[in-house]
Amino acid sequence: MSYAENIVDKAVHLFNKVKPAAETPHTEEPKTPKGGDFLVKTTPAAHIFIPEEWNEEQVLMANSLREFIEQEIHPILEELDAQKDPTQSPRLLEKAGEMGFLSLAIPEEYGGLDMDFNTNLLFGEVGALGFSFATTIGAHTSIGSLPIVFYGNDDQKARYLPKIATGELKAAYCLTEPGAGSDANSGKTKATLNSAGTHYLLNGQKMWITNGGFADVFIVFAKIDQDEDLSAFIVEKAFGGIELGAEEKKLGIKGSSTVQVFFTDCPVPAENLLGKRAEGFKIALNILNTGRIKLAAGAVGGCKMAIHKAIQYANERIQFEQPIAQFGAIQHKLAETTARTFAAESATYRIGYNIDQKYHELVAEGFSSAQAKLQAIKEFAVECSIMKVHASEVLAYVVDEVLQVHGGMGYAVETGIERGYRDARITRIYEGTNEINRMLSVGELFKRAFKNKEIDLLGSLKSLPLHLLKNTLPNTGSDKFAREKELVQNLKDAFLLVGLRAAQKLKMELAQQQEIVLLLADMLAEAYVSESVWLRIEKLYAKEESGKKSEAYKMKRNLARIYLYESLDKARKAGEDAINGFATGAEKALLLRVLYRLLPKYEVNPIQLRRKVAEYLNRHKGYAFIGY
């Protein structure tokens, strides 16, 4: 028996108790996939959206926002950061409202544009060019107003949404408390109905409230009487009983307002209860799903802006009688940051399009528009958490490398590079820390698989021995991307191998083994992002003229190769660490052998690929794949 056959045989025995589902795993998915199904279904490239497909209207709108930021925000960035004029940000919001930039997610009947979700993500990407103003406008248009869009009754929507759309009312979101951060449902803010039954009296304290210093309307979470779960309220500053703390001194996003908000017998009309009593925590979680994927889009925008500056500087900076962009060390940074950004972008808009697909499907089934939007976003909660983490960490990597390309000038305030470096840090903290989101992605996936029986992870694992055997056979087919598809499938199988074995062995204790869960989340992310970028390349290939592939396409394919090369290493290391954390003896040895068989080295020359990409970027004098 050969080495490979021996591994296959042992893998069969290791999982011989797994019961396959009635349906065949890894089948072609319908045009509207289910959240998390990417692990067990094959996604045709034709069924995804790629940024090269933005239409003329979307590009025009994106450019109008970019021009607004360049004309209105960039000239006063230092003034915004200094916060000497507290009226500056609210005035800018009003200007943005006049341009229609605050109304993208608001229904038309309430003065909004009601744009599709992917267009909203595109605006989030472009909005990142505004540095801290991106946080200001993002809090207003996302967490500050979407609770009313999704959960408000007709009267609440009519009273608040038209003025939020224009910027006449500025919105904020009050969830976090000094003793309730990641454990948001443990908040102590109380709401007590008065004897007349007309008003709730709010008492408590909220912190880290973006836009809090100038907001007119707050979405506030509090517990009614002795309820165990939060309820949500629409609270106007004009109600009284509200005091604001001083502006927080922050590492980054200095131009955004961040304050504590204190409620002392704040009288909130009973009709301003948002949604149902004790459903506030559910509202908070569902709204955060929206914020997470929008954060990913913003991170992509920040990456593109930073890389663009690095390429320009590297071509202008002369050392040893040539631009530093010609040196291999700098070319590595330019190409690697671009590859990771390109991959993150691919995955982000894949999710946005899936959400739009699900929305239209639910509307056709009879759901209201608000219900359909909410359920569509909830459907892809796993992917939203994955990309919040992944994109924010790509941004962290990019801004660090971009600062390094600038050398001492990057450390100086005058170039503005340090602003991006500081501003990026918050993306790994807000909308749920990356640690929390890693655990959420795996936890929600396993919940859908084992509790709700929505995803057949166990049945899919039955295909593992066959995939292992196929890995030992030469590729004789005509599929241009057969090897990459095989490796992407192996990334999925590697997660199933390690994740399900950990779940089988640790059972309920797995949730307490957070280090292992975090590693599984990283494996899950690499599978999703690698698949997304290669689906993009496959779709681009189909769009190219037969026998004549453009240089731009070839460079994008190189970016995908660079990403997959790194992705396999990351997933292999995460899987290895996880296995070492829960397995011992012969089981450990077998799991590691199977893991290594699934995730071999990708036979490409990464140095050569990076040099080709860097040369292309240098010729174009900037980030050549912006898309708008």
Distance CA 292, CA 385 (A): 6
Q: Are 539 and 48 in contact (CB under 8 A)?
A: yes
Which of 344, 339, 353, 478 has the alpha carbon at shortest distance from 45?
A: 353
Angle at 611 (CA atoms; ends 405, 301), nearest 5 degrees: 55
Residue 413 carries which side chain, given as an amino acid letter?
Answer: V
Q: Helix, strand, or coil here: 115?
A: coil
Distance CA 302, CA 210 (A): 19
Q: Are 495 and 386 in contact (CB under 8 A)?
A: no
- 85-121 burial, b if ≥16 CB within 10 A, otherwise e? eeebbbebbeebbeebbbbbbbbeebbbbebbbbbbb
Q: Half-sphere exposure of 456 toward its Cβ, with a 13 Å CA cutoff?
A: 17
Q: Are 590 and 10 in contact (CB under 8 A)?
A: yes
Please state the φ and ψ torsions of residue 350, each to the nearest 5 degrees: -65, -45
Distance CA 460, CA 537 (A): 26
Q: Are 521 and 335 in contact (CB under 8 A)?
A: no
Paired tokens of 149: 């869009």
Tally of CB atoms within 10 A around 390: 28
403-412: long-range contacts (C-beta < 8 A, 24 or more apart)?
Answer: 404/333, 405/310, 405/313, 405/314, 405/324, 405/330, 405/333, 405/334, 406/310, 406/313, 407/317, 409/313
576-585: long-range contacts (C-beta < 8 A, 24 or more apart)?
Answer: 577/519, 578/498, 578/502, 578/516, 578/519, 578/520, 578/523, 579/498, 581/513, 581/515, 581/516, 581/519, 582/501, 582/502, 582/505, 582/506, 582/513, 582/516, 583/501, 583/505
Q: Are 248 and 258 in contact (CB under 8 A)?
A: yes
- 227-266 burial, b if ≥16 CB within 10 A, otherwise e? eeebbbbbbbbebebbebbebbebebbbbbbbbbbbbeeb
Which entry of 379, 418, 431, 531 is annotated as an active-site residue?
431
Cβ contacts of residue 364 below 8 Å, gap of 6+?
none
Angle at 577 (CA atoms; ends 572, 581), nearest 5 degrees: 145
576 annotated active-site: no
Please spell the DSSP secondary structure of 573-613, one letter per residue: HHHHHHHHHH--HHHHHHHHHHHHHHS----S-HHHHHHHH
Catalytic residues: 431
